[in-house]
Structure 1
Amino acid sequence: MGEIKWDIRRGAQIYRVIYNSRLKNWISTGKIKRGETMVWRSGFSGWRKPEELPELAPFFESWEKHSLSGEDGGIEPIKLKEQVVPQQKQIRNILIIDDEKDLCLLLSDALNAKGYHVATANTKREGMICLKKASPDLVFLDLKLPDGNGINILSAIRRLCPETIAIIISAYGGEESRKKAMKNGARGFIDKPFTESDILKRIMLFRKGKMV
């Protein structure tokens, strides 16, 4: 039997979002046969047949008659928004701006071992110099620096290298700080203390083009 994952909240409209090409593909690959009654599974009611819900019967009959036979007509599919495939982001050059020198050293060693090119800065001034010298793909930025606030660096990143991803790493992760950082261009927030795994997972998400 062909199985359709059915969300009970959408009710009778489920078959309006199944495109003709998908049904034909199921037939051509032998997943279902012409004239075979389709069934679907609901997490609320288990296995159900279309005839058990009268409001669905016309949709099955229409698709059996028109779509499965290769004819046009029948039910007009709902126009769905085109699914956007995440575009992978190349991340090679990483800049760490944090006043904790030991943290910078350990994190840069871990990232270098994974093949990334890593630069570090321990002050706002050093961070700005690094940004102007070369546009990194990714910046890990602490909010509290000896000579200034990391929020100001976020503004500089947007101005100097708008394609750069900025992620905040901070022990001061209050709601207000997060909102302010995101408003100024941060794409994520990692609370201290964190592990090497936390950093690598976040990098991988951005490399796959997934928002965090």
Structure 2
Amino acid sequence: MSKIGIIIGSVRDKSQSARIAHHIQDRLARQPEQPETVLFSLKDLALPLWSEEKWQADSPLSRDWAPVSASLARCDGFVFVVPEWAGMAPPHLKNFLLMCDQGELAHKPCQLIGVSAGMGGAYPVAELRMSGYKNNFLMWLPDHMILRQVNDLFTSDPATPLDDRLNQRLDYCLRFLTETARALTPVRQTCQDLSTYKNGM
């Protein structure tokens, strides 16, 4: 069974990103494979800013990061739920990606979900696709979603027609994620060499 980590990219209290992350966790539980899931809330992790101290094995920064690193390493794939802050991915999320320099995310598929309270959400997706993978080797799936006017989504009972359409697309994307996560596991075991090639080009 695959294990999927869900990264909540917001550090706000009662964030829409956290609500959507829990919704995604519920949708993953309905997948045929029913993968195990684990939530990584950047608000709860409260990671310090990256510094060169991270490269020192006995530093407080490295020791604090070690349990997070180990939990990430046990995942086979990821979902990133990313809000748009002033047209950018949140700095906490970029810091998180910098921290993942020990292969925690390497060559693992990731479903990218943008979140916007308005009609935005595209810039963080473009930003992360351009540079968010370089030294951590995270593999963004080709298909992403942007959930616009998110405050109104997945709140109605019964679900609205828009909710139904978005859930169908979400299920489609998550099925690709879980199947890709399973397929890439033997590829990593056979091909991955992070000791020789530790940085992207």
Task: Provide TM-score, normalisation by structure 1.
Answer: 0.44
Larger Rg: 1
Select the structure with the greater relative contact order (CA < 8 A; seq sep ≥ 6).
2
Task: Provide TM-score, normalisation by structure 2.
Answer: 0.46
